[in-house]
Structure formats: C-alpha cells, structure tokens
C-alpha cells in the first residue's frame, strides 16, 4: 500500500477471505493510521516550536521594558474529522500530499495581546527570526472582514528537527487583542446556533459591536501611550531603582 494514501479503508469486504487477505487488510489499516499519526506529529511539534518562540519574546519584553505584550497563547491541532471535511470542501482526496500542500491551518496558534501596537511589534519580531519563513500575511485589523472580524493572520513555515530529518511544517498564527478575541469567541458561538430569527439584524448588531470594541482598543492604546509620554525624564535614583526591579522578574 502507498503510505501517501491516508483515506479510511472502510469495513472488511464481504466474501470468503483467507487469513492472508485479512492480515493484509489489517496491515494496510495500521500503516495508514501510523502514517497519519506521524503526519500530525510534525504539526504538533510546530505548535510547540512556535509557542516557545512567542514565550521567549514575551519574556524579553518583560525584562527590557517591564511589560508583557502577550496576555495568553492558545494552540490547537486540527482533528482528523476537520481535515477530512476541509479536503472534501476543496474536492480533494485525503492523501498526505493534499494535506501538506493545501491545508496550512492544521497547526493553529492564537496569540492574545494587550494592545493593538503590541500585535505588530510581536509579529514583526517573530517574522524576523532566521528560521521562520512567511508564506502569507492577512491584516484583518487594518482591513476588517465585512462582519467586523479583526485579527492579524500569518501563515508560516518552521523547520522541525527530527532524529533523522529536518521537516518544514506550515502553521497558522492569529494575533489579536483581548477585546478582539472576546468578540470573535461570542460571534463564533452565535454563528453556529441553529434557526436564529432575524439573522441579518443580529449580524448588523455584531458588526457594530466590533466597531465599538475596535474604538475601545484604540482608546486604551492612546491612554497607555499618553501615560508613557508624561512620565517625564527619570532621575538617576529612579533609573537605578528600575534596573533593580528587573532582578525580581521570574525567568523560569
């Protein structure tokens, strides 16, 4: 059997089957399952690699600037069912080549930031890393979707070092503020409720909520910028004290 074919083999065919035929069928099923497991291993490792990179950046910002730009990081690995459904929508068979060449969001990382400008600072610092290849970038913050959705989407490729090979794996990264994530979570819940009356009115209300949240994000960023600019020039004692406080940061 070609291990590139990850399609489910289905039930054992009816008829008089020899023991050798049954063993071959079982072997093919196991080969297919193990190949799929190995495929997901690469994506799972990519999630770990990318999350570590963002954790490092967050720690660096805390040490250098006494501020964490990242509030939280969430990850997910697309399930086999979701992979099959997406390939089906694309009219593609479930093969390893089709998965690797056409699905770039099997490994998903969502980075939640405190402020809008943090999104771009963290994204730019991440993309500049030598082993990260940017495949595509979609800025739904500057250009929101019609329903009001806002987020920065990156498709990247990251090398994963296994014992016998180096494999480049694609992953999708979504970077948004706490407020954007709050809106997206509620919109997702409402979107999948069945038999909703006045769907058009609800969609318009959600879009208006997204605009209010975006305005709040900008106001919070401006307030923080104003506070930072009005702190004035620090005295020598204050500078020494700020440096001493950096020793209290937990690097573990």
**Residues 126-137 pLDDT 10s:** 999 999 999 999
Whether the pLDDT of residue 235 is over 60: the answer is: no
Q: Are 19 and 51 in contact (CB under 8 A)?
A: no
DSSP string, 24-77: HHHHHHHHHHHHHHHHHHHHHHHHHHHHHHHHHHHHHHHHHHS--SEEEEEEEE
- Least confident among 45-59, 79-93, 218-232: 218-232
Rounded to whole angstroms, the maximal C-alpha distance in the chain is: 90
Tally Cβ neighbours within 10 Å of residue 69: 21
User: What predicted TM-score, i.e. pTM, was given to this entire model?
Assistant: 0.80
- The predicted structure's pLDDT at residue 143: 97
Torsion on CA atoms 82, 85, 91, 96, rounded to nearest 10: 40
**CA–CA distance, 40 with 176 (Å, rounded to integer):** 26
Strand order in the sheet with 166-177: 70-77, 107-113, 166-177, 152-161, 133-139
Q: What is the chain's Cα-based Rg?
A: 24
Is the pLDDT assigned to residue 50 strictly greater than 70? Answer: yes
Given a cut of 70, is residue 10 above it in pLDDT?
no
CB-based contacts of 92: which residues, under 8 Å, 6+ apart? 98, 102
% of the chain with per-residue pLDDT over 90: 54
Q: How confident is the model at residue 34 (pLDDT cuts 50, 70, 90)?
A: low
Q: Are 108 and 78 in contact (CB under 8 A)?
A: yes
């Amino acid at each position: 059997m070609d291990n590139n074919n990850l399609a489910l083999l289905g039930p054992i065919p009816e008829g008089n089957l020899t023991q050798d035929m049954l063993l071959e069928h079982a072997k093919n099923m196991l080969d297919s399952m193990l190949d799929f497991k190995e495929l997901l291993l690469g994506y799972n490792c990519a999630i770990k690699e990318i999350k570590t990179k963002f954790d490092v950046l967050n720690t660096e910002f805390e040490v250098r600037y006494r501020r964490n730009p990242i509030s939280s990081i969430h990850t997910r690995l697309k399930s086999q069912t979701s992979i099959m459904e997406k390939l089906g929508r694309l009219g593609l068979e479930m093969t390893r080549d089709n998965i690797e060449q056409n699905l770039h969001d099997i490994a998903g990382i969502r980075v939640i930031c405190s402020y809008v400008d943090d999104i771009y600072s963290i994204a730019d610092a991440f993309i500049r890393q030598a082993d990260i290849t940017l495949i595509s970038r979609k800025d739904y913050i500057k250009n929101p979707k019609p329903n009001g959705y806002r987020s920065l989407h990156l498709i990247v490729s990251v090398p994963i070092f296994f014992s016998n090979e180096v494999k480049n794996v694609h992953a999708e990264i979504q970077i948004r503020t706490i407020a954007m994530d709050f809106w997206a979570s509620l919109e997702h819940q409402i979107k999948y409720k069945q038999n909703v009356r006045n769907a058009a009115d609800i969609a318009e209300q959600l879009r208006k909520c997204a605009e209010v949240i975006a305005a709040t994000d900008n106001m919070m960023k401006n307030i923080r910028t104003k506070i930072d600019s009005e702190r004035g020039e620090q005295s020598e004692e204050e500078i020494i004290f700020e440096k001493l406080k950096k020793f209290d940061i937990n690097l573990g």
